[in-house]
Amino acid sequence: MSLSQKIRVLIVDDSAFMRKVIGDILSAGSGIEIIGKARNGDEAIAKARELSPDVITLDMEMPGKNGLDVLREIMQIKPVPVVMVSSLTKGGANATMQALNAGAVDFVTKPSGTISLDMEKVADELRQKIIAASKASMKNAYGPGAEALTERVQSMPAPLQPHAPRRDALRKPELLVVAASTGGPNALQEVIPALPGDFPMPVMVVQHMPPGFTTSFASRLNELSELDVIEACDGMPVRRGTAIIAPGGYHLIVERTPKDLVCRLTETPPVRSVRPAADVLFASVSEVVGGNVITVVLTGMGRDGLDGARLLRAKGAYVITESKETCVIYGMPGAINEAGLSDEVLPIYSIAEAIERAAR
């Protein structure tokens, strides 16, 4: 898509009011054109075929075929970047996780339920995610278990040979920190479950998600992993055998007590428009733990993690970033690579092995 072309969007929602509100929000942003609207699943599939949109916004809760059914069918016909529009409920969170695993690029939550009169609260977020989705690599949007994953991996080059660690890096790693954003849930489902239950250090993860969704995400990762994967709470010890997920709406930092390294949660302002932010966790870790850290940055929109990775690497941390060939969005790892901070740049399927190698 050239810079002069507008992003062509199809809006799918069973509510005429929501279709209008979402259309008005997106039309108010430069560079976005609404090319069609659909009120149910069958109409959405027909218009996706007919109009070939660049991005689809897809309501999760619809009569007949729900959003997840529609998403799966669209992905089988012709993969298109889809941003799910979901209610903030436990059921909605679980369904959203399934949608991300089925190929949705990202999601936005309706602030006050199925019919949200206050969608303006998420107007900027919605526009930003539509723009990011238009740049997504759909061949990389499928999660573990999707049929496309096997074909994708088989078509990719062999993993790079083991990388020789820098002489100044990792005397004895104490901690693994991981950051991801757009496309991150699926990427993390390839990395965290691949780590053994006796992995020799704690794991701390920042995945950009709003409140209410990280609990479901942590539960899903825990089902797949040998490590205990849990959502962070204030004062929680940071211990080996555990992967801790930053909760939506809070920055996660670390503090060293006489007995343990512990989690602290803060509601200080968002950094680079996100909370939790990788930069906040990374900066905290650099102060409290120093450079004996393995740092991993996966697919994601924006530049979160860049400043924190620079602090960590200056103290000797080992930095691994996901390569462009497997990223849904190459923003976060790309920024670190452009700054010359990556020790290894690897496809997603080689990152767990690289982490274990660095840990040893």
Q: What's the pLDDT tens digit per position in 177-227?
A: 999 999 999 999 999 999 999 999 999 999 999 888 999 999 999 999 999
172 contacts 292 by C-beta, under 8 angstroms: yes
Question: Rounded to whole angstroms, how far apart are CA atoms 47 and 49?
Answer: 5
Return the pLDDT at 124: 92
pLDDT of residue 161: 43
Of the residues 136, 163, 185, the one at which a domain ends: 136
Burial class of 18 by CB neighbour count within 10 A (0 to 12, 13 to 18, 19+): buried
Confidence category of residue 168, pLDDT binned at 50, 70, 90: low
Q: What mean pLDDT comes out for the span 156-161?
A: 44
Residue 13 belongs to a domain: yes
Check whether 8 has a pLDDT greater than 50. yes
pLDDT the model gives residue 114: 74
Q: Which domain holds residue 203?
A: 175-359
DSSP classification of residue 140: G
63 or 146: which leads in pLDDT: 63
pLDDT (mean) for 153-164? 45
pLDDT score at 143: 52
Mean pLDDT of 331-344: 96
Residue 126 has pLDDT above 90, yes or no: yes
pLDDT(102) > 60: yes
Q: Is the pLDDT of residue 164 over 70?
A: no
Residues with active-site annotation: 181, 208, 304
Shared-domain flag, residues 243 and 328: yes
CB atoms within 10 A of CB 79: 15
Q: What is the pLDDT of residue 64?
A: 87
Per-residue model confidence as pLDDT tens digits over 274-302: 999 999 999 999 999 999 999 999 999 99
Which of 136, 167, 185 is the last residue in one of the domains?
A: 136
What pLDDT shows up at residue 235?
A: 96
pLDDT of residue 86: 81
Token pair in block for residue 231: 């959502």
CATH code for the domain of 204: 3.40.50.180
Lowest mean pLDDT among 26-35, 236-245, 270-279, 315-324: 26-35
Structural domains counted in the chain? 2
State both tokens at 209: 């998600």
Same domain, yes or no, for 127 and 179? no
Residues 6+ apart with CB under 8 A from 186: 100, 101, 141, 142, 143, 144, 328
Task: Flag whether 158 is in a domain.
Answer: no
Ranking 14-23, 103-112, 252-261 by mean pLDDT, the lowest is: 103-112
- Sign of the alpha-carbon torsion through 12, 18, 19, 24: negative
